[in-house]
Structure 1
């Protein structure tokens, strides 16, 4: 279904079959001269059919249309290659754009074997083969035009300013329309669910970076936040406060779990609370174990950065324990 949510701005729900996210909010900004698509859905036939139908319903001409990819995840970038081959120009950030192209290689995914050992996920005998990023990302490199903080995309009466909001991914971008007080935020701020903040490497505190990005957007003058999943947000400050509180409680939960025990990432994640329909860790599907362990890891590394938790390595497995 394609719904006009603001003058010449349309919301197109792209189904994400068999995925807890259920659907992607793809946005289409239409004008007489050119059009803008924001995010695409997975690289799978169900998503492509829904996107193509929505574009057809709006009489979108590919020759005068651009695609803006907020970040690298395959539910956002999956069809970028297909649209690129149809003649649509692709905009995204340099960091995440490069990673999208790496996701089509086995080398990129082999690092998940390293994470599997580090996180202690060997216990669960999982692999990356059923990870949605592996299955539904673009399979060939895409030609993209990199965008930077402060760049402007003008579509009709709208002037969209590029905003760098890393955290959910290392190079996540948003689009801010100051005059109309609109913000397209990708997965930076979500309502009714919380963005997954995962682990991307030891060289930076990605959770701390995410907090900084939330605070950066907090004082923006915004009437409507258009997120990539679930509900349009009308009070972004309230929702940011809720997200910060959520992560504060998550950090306290983890400190409680490792207060007296030195545990692996996998064992910590298995003891954390998750708002999922599964009864226990053993019944989590493989992708959910990856996501849960990655989120546990980002919080653990943040606690290491703040000096509240210490880590050690034994037989290739990371262990964490509270200092207090």
Structure 2
């Protein structure tokens, strides 16, 4: 389905089969000679049919487009290869662009096997082979045009500034049109659902990075915030306030869980509240166990970095407890 959301700006609903997100909002900015597409959908036929069908409805030849990828997740970058094959310019941040290409090789996914042990997920028999990122990512590297904050791109009457909104992924970027007060934010801010903040390694406190990015966008003058899933947002400050409150509740929830004693990441995630159609942890689909433990880990590391928790490595598993 194609919807006009602003002058010369359209939203294509790209179907995400068998996924709780249901659709990706892929945006198209129609320019004079070229049009800009923001994000693609998974690397699978149903997504390709949705995206290409939307372009046909808009009477846009894919050869006359450029692609902007907000972040590395496969539902945003998975079809970049169809643009690569036609020699189309593909924009991404250097951090996430390199990770997208790393995702085409096994060493990237074998790292999840290390996390499986670290998080105590071995008990659940999970494998990365069921992870949607693995199943529907690019299968070969692409050449990106790296773009960063301080740079801009012009399409039609719109000049988009690239904005660093790291947190949901290490190199998440968005596009801000200052004159029209428009912001394309990928998964940085979503309405009705909360962006997953996962674990990307011990190099940085990713939840703190996300909080800083939310605070940064709070001060922007925005009339229309275009997210990659669910509803267009007209009051971004309200939604940011709600997201910050959500994560504060999450942090308190973990502290309360640990009042009962030390625990592994998996057992903490098991006891957290999740908005999912499953009656117990055992009924969680394998992908959701990856996402839940990753989010639990991001919050645990935030609490550790801010001096609230101890942690130790015991038989390959991380154990957290209150100070």
Show the counterpart of 2:63.
63
Secondary structure of the structure 2 residue equivalent to 1:129: helix
Deviation at 1:87, TM superposition (A): 2.5
Counterparts in 2 of 1:106-255, with a 5 A limit? 106-255=106-255
Which is further off, 253-262 or 286-295? Answer: 253-262
Q: Per-residue displacement from partner, 1:60-95 (whole Å, max 9, x unpaired)?
A: 123321000000000000000122112321001000
Q: Match for residue 6 of structure 2?
A: 6
Q: TM-score, normalised by structure 1?
A: 0.99
Q: CA RMSD in A?
A: 0.6
**Cα shift readout 1:113-141 (whole Å, capped 9, x = no counterpart):** 00000000000011000100000001000
Structure 2 residue matching 1:229: 3-state secondary structure:
coil
1:87-102 matched pairs, under 5 angstroms = 87-102=87-102
Q: Count the aligned residue pairs.
A: 323
Counterparts of 1:161 and 1:181 in 2: how far apart (Å)?
11
Query: 1: CA distance between counterparts of 2:39 and 2:233?
Result: 18
Unaligned runs of 5+ in 2: none
Which 4+ stretches in 1 moved above 3 angstroms? none
Could you tell me whether the CA contact under 8 Å between 1:128 and 1:134 is conserved in 2? yes
Report SS of the residue matched to 2:184.
Answer: strand
Q: In the aligned structure 2, how far is the partner of 1:21 from the partner of 1:65?
A: 26
Shifted more, 69-78 versus 257-266: the winner is 257-266
Which residue number in structure 1 is paired with residue 19 of structure 2? 19
* Matches of 1:203 and 1:99, distance apart in 2: 15
SS for the counterpart of 2:240 is helix
Unmatched 5+ residue regions in structure 1?
A: none
Distance in 1 (CA, whole Å) between partners of 2:239 and 2:261 is 34
Q: Does the 8 Å CA contact 1:71/1:172 hold for their aligned counterparts?
A: yes
> Could you tell me how far 1:31 is from its partner in structure 2?
1.7
Match of 1:282 in 2: 282
SS at match of 1:274: coil
TM-superposed deviation, 1:259: 1.5
Cα pair 1:62 1:87 within 8 Å, conserved: no
CA contact (8 A) 1:260 1:322 kept: no
In 1, are the aligned partners of 2:163 and 2:173 still within 8 Å (CA)? yes
Q: Does 1:306 align with 2:306?
A: yes
